[in-house]
Structure 1
Amino acid sequence: MLVTLERNHLLKSLGHVHRVVERRNTYPILANVLLKATPEGLDLRATDLDIEVTESVPAMVGTPGTTTVPAHTLYEIVRKLADGAEVRLETSGAEQMLLTSGRSRFHLACISPDSFPDLKSGTFGFNFSIPAATMRELIERTQFAISNEETRYYLNGIYLHTLEVNGKPTLRAVATDGHRMARAETDAPAGASGMPGVIVPKKTVGEVQKLLDGAEGDVAVEVSDTKIRFTLGSVVLLSKLIEGTFPDYDRVTPKNNDKEMNVDRAAFATAVDRVSTIASDRGGKAVKLSLNQGQLELSVTNPDHGTASEELPVDFTTDNFEIGFNARYLLDIVGQIRSDNAVFLFNDAGSPTLVREDGDAKALYVLMPMRV
């Protein structure tokens, strides 16, 4: 194999594919990236057996061939080369690849590509295209609520599904960890209607989010019963889905919360952050909201460090209402609000609270209260 290409092109592609490679692997081949030189250019592929990322990069191919080399080592070498430098990759045998750039020379150990795993894609029953910015927003508004609890593995991802909302086909993303729930939706693209609900794993969500960062145009999405594939330009990400049943989130979404509080989002977030400074981790970073006729008092009591309180003007007409929340969860949700005001809908101190943007129904959040 003999390939010559521009360092920046190679670095960008390696940046996409090497991230799925785990630092520690039982099988040495999984620590490598597959390099396949064809007359059309250089293809790169990496996998952890659950996710596979492939990208094609323009290159001058003198001799076609295929090999695998350590992914993270190759990425670090290319990252440290001079901007705009020319990179030459050459294999004369099966055991080593020579990388040269300017006066730099590196010999990298190779593993035969024959044992490199192929994450078979199978047949995809649903195919649609969606603006990259829209897909990114669905992920950004929900991914923070994904659970890390391995025993409830079916919560370790984003539930992506279609449904009818007011007679319109809608694509909805939902995530929950049992303490808070995030829900975001958009008009369903052509080809998505009727798609079964799938749970996209957290690692896949993170990789797709990075691919979509700053991206323009559309991303193609293909869904089967067991896998999902995202294609953005020359990058293809194929992932297994989480097997399991996502809980009936609609059942825990409040329907009759009639105590409404409107508050300046930025001022509220700053106040919560300030008073929670002395909150105890042992106590779950609890902050109490006390409401009375247009006035909100945020307070924290820590037996070891003292107390803190702050008052804010709010739009609230009910007398004497108190409720407690985990401050970090509260800040996570308020951080997703895009409007100037955040709208809180309460029922009672022991029931879930609904949080949404002022005048927008495309995203909403549910937060479980704490006893304070």
Structure 2
Amino acid sequence: MKLTIERTALLHSLGHVQSVVERRNTIPILSNVLLEAKGDRLALTATDMELAIVEQVAVDASQAGAVTVPAHTLYDIVRKLPEGAQVQLELSGDGQQTTIKAGRSRFQLATLPKEDFPATGSGELPHQFPLSAGDLKGLIDRTKFAISTEETRYYLNGIYLHAFSSGKQKALRAVATDGHRLARVEMPLPEGAENIPGVIIPRKAVNELRKLIEETTGSVAVSLSESRIRFAFDDVILTSKLIDGSFPDYHRVIPNNNDKMLEVDRKAFRDAVDRVSTISSEKSRAVKLSLKSGLLTLSATSAEQGSATEELEVKYDGAPIDIGFNSRYLLDIADEIEGEGMQILLADSVAPTLMRDMADAQALYVLMPMRV
């Protein structure tokens, strides 16, 4: 294998694929990136056995071939080369080393046989449908903050994607919960997604996908089975195993009889929570909301720090109520609401609370209160 590629193009693609590679690996080949040159294309492949990414980039390949080299080392080398440099990669005759040249810089990296690199084929994925990059970003951004990081409840460590239908309503829904808060976002059901199984996309796959689609504006081809999912767009293919578990029946925790309705300016509410929470203890992060007609008082108290209160004029004509929340959770939800108005529906001080974006009926959030 012998090829020449512009440093920026190589760095861009390496930046995508190397982030899949774990820093510590008990299996040496999983620390490597597979480089396959053919014609005017170079395919870069990385995997951790759960998640695989393949990205193609234009090159000038004078000799086709394939090799695996340490992913993070290659990325660091290319990152430190001068901007605009032309990078040459050449595999030695015995296949033991790859030489990297750029200007007067020269590096030699040990290789591992390409035959040892795990196959990343995803098998048959019978369900296929398109999603715009914008819609996919929206589904991810407005739910991923609620993904659980508690490994014992592994079935909550991802986003639950499924088709939902009720009467004439048909939607593609993304749901995430950590047991304390729940985020549910939906969009019109894409053609081809009618019969998809409900699948849980792992947190790492969600994060890598979100980084990859940041730069694209086109359509993303989604393919899935009950055990794997693939996203293909531009010159990138991301394939991931799905979490093998049952997502809980989230409908049961979404309240439908909360009769106390509060409407508040989102930014004013978010900033007030942020200011008052400065006083709350690092452990509980508790903020108390005291509501009476037309007025919301936010307060926090800490034995070490003191106390803080702030008042906001709001639209509320229900019975007075005091309720406490984790301020971090309130801020996470407020940050995902894009409209100016935020609607909060309450029942009492211990029941789940419903939060909505007044400008977007497709997003819904549930937050469990806490004692304050």
Following TM superposition, by how much is the alpha carbon of 1:359 offset from its aligned partner in structure 2, in angstroms? 4.1
Match of residue 130 from structure 2: 129
Match of residue 99 from structure 1: 100
Match of residue 2 from structure 2: 2
Match of residue 325 from structure 1: 325
Match of residue 28 from structure 2: 28
Contact 2:260 2:319 (8 Å CA) reproduced: no
Following TM superposition, by how much is the alpha carbon of 1:82 offset from its aligned partner in structure 2, in angstroms? 2.0
Q: Secondary structure at the match of 1:137?
A: helix
Partner Cα distance (1:329, 1:39) in 2: 51
Q: Secondary structure at the match of 2:61?
A: strand
Deviates more, 1:5-14 or 1:252-261: 5-14
Match of residue 273 from structure 1: 274
Following TM superposition, by how much is the alpha carbon of 1:167 offset from its aligned partner in structure 2, in angstroms? 1.0
Match of residue 360 from structure 2: 360
Following TM superposition, by how much is the alpha carbon of 1:19 offset from its aligned partner in structure 2, in angstroms? 0.6
Q: Secondary structure at the match of 1:148?
A: coil
Q: Which runs of 5+ in 2 are unaligned?
A: none
Match of residue 200 from structure 2: 199
1:290 equivalent to 2:295? Answer: no
Contact 2:146 2:181 (8 Å CA) reproduced: yes
Partner Cα distance (2:121, 2:85) in 1: 36
Deviates more, 1:71-80 or 1:150-159: 71-80
Counterpart code for 2:235: S
Counterpart code for 1:33: V
Following TM superposition, by how much is the alpha carbon of 1:194 offset from its aligned partner in structure 2, in angstroms? 1.3
Contact 2:130 2:190 (8 Å CA) reproduced: yes
Match of residue 138 from structure 1: 139
**CA 1:359 to 1:42, structure 2 compared with 1: closer, same or farther past 3 Å?**
closer
Partner Cα distance (1:40, 1:243) in 2: 39
Partner Cα distance (1:148, 1:127) in 2: 29
Match of residue 38 from structure 1: 38
Following TM superposition, by how much is the alpha carbon of 1:33 offset from its aligned partner in structure 2, in angstroms? 0.2
Contact 2:50 2:240 (8 Å CA) reproduced: yes
Following TM superposition, by how much is the alpha carbon of 1:199 offset from its aligned partner in structure 2, in angstroms? 0.1
Partner Cα distance (2:166, 2:122) in 1: 31
Counterpart code for 2:66: T
User: What's the CA shift string for 1:190-229, capped at 9, x where partnerless?
Assistant: 1111111000000000000001113111001001010000
Aligned residues: 371
TM, length-normalised to structure 1: 0.98
Partner Cα distance (2:302, 2:91) in 1: 64
The share of aligned pairs that are identical, in percent, is: 54
Counterpart code for 2:103: G
Deviates more, 1:130-139 or 1:354-363: 354-363
Counterpart code for 2:36: K
Match of residue 178 from structure 1: 179
Partner Cα distance (2:340, 2:58) in 1: 45
Counterpart code for 2:315: D
User: What's the CA shift string for 1:159-204, capped at 9, x where partnerless?
Assistant: 0000114513210000000000001111111111111100000000
1:17 equivalent to 2:34? Answer: no
Q: Secondary structure at the match of 1:159?
A: strand
Partner Cα distance (2:120, 2:106) in 1: 33
Match of residue 157 from structure 2: 156
Counterpart code for 2:172: L
Say what the alpha-carbon RMSD is for the aligned residues.
1.0
Match of residue 210 from structure 1: 211
Deviates more, 1:57-66 or 1:129-138: 57-66
Match of residue 226 from structure 2: 225
**CA 1:214 to 1:67, structure 2 compared with 1: closer, same or farther past 3 Å?**
closer
Match of residue 344 from structure 2: 344
Partner Cα distance (1:212, 1:254) in 2: 34
Contact 2:338 2:359 (8 Å CA) reproduced: no
Partner Cα distance (2:165, 2:147) in 1: 24
Partner Cα distance (1:191, 1:140) in 2: 23
Partner Cα distance (2:17, 2:54) in 1: 7
Match of residue 252 from structure 1: 253
Following TM superposition, by how much is the alpha carbon of 1:39 offset from its aligned partner in structure 2, in angstroms? 2.0
Counterpart code for 1:136: K
Partner Cα distance (1:255, 1:307) in 2: 34
Partner Cα distance (1:213, 1:257) in 2: 37
Match of residue 108 from structure 1: 109
Following TM superposition, by how much is the alpha carbon of 1:340 offset from its aligned partner in structure 2, in angstroms? 0.5
Q: Secondary structure at the match of 1:335?
A: helix
Counterpart code for 2:164: L
Moved over 6 A (4+): none
Following TM superposition, by how much is the alpha carbon of 1:341 offset from its aligned partner in structure 2, in angstroms? 1.0
Contact 2:165 2:171 (8 Å CA) reproduced: yes
Partner Cα distance (1:296, 1:56) in 2: 54
Partner Cα distance (1:3, 1:326) in 2: 55
TM, length-normalised to structure 2: 0.98
Q: Secondary structure at the match of 1:213?
A: helix
Contact 2:298 2:310 (8 Å CA) reproduced: yes
Counterpart code for 2:306: G
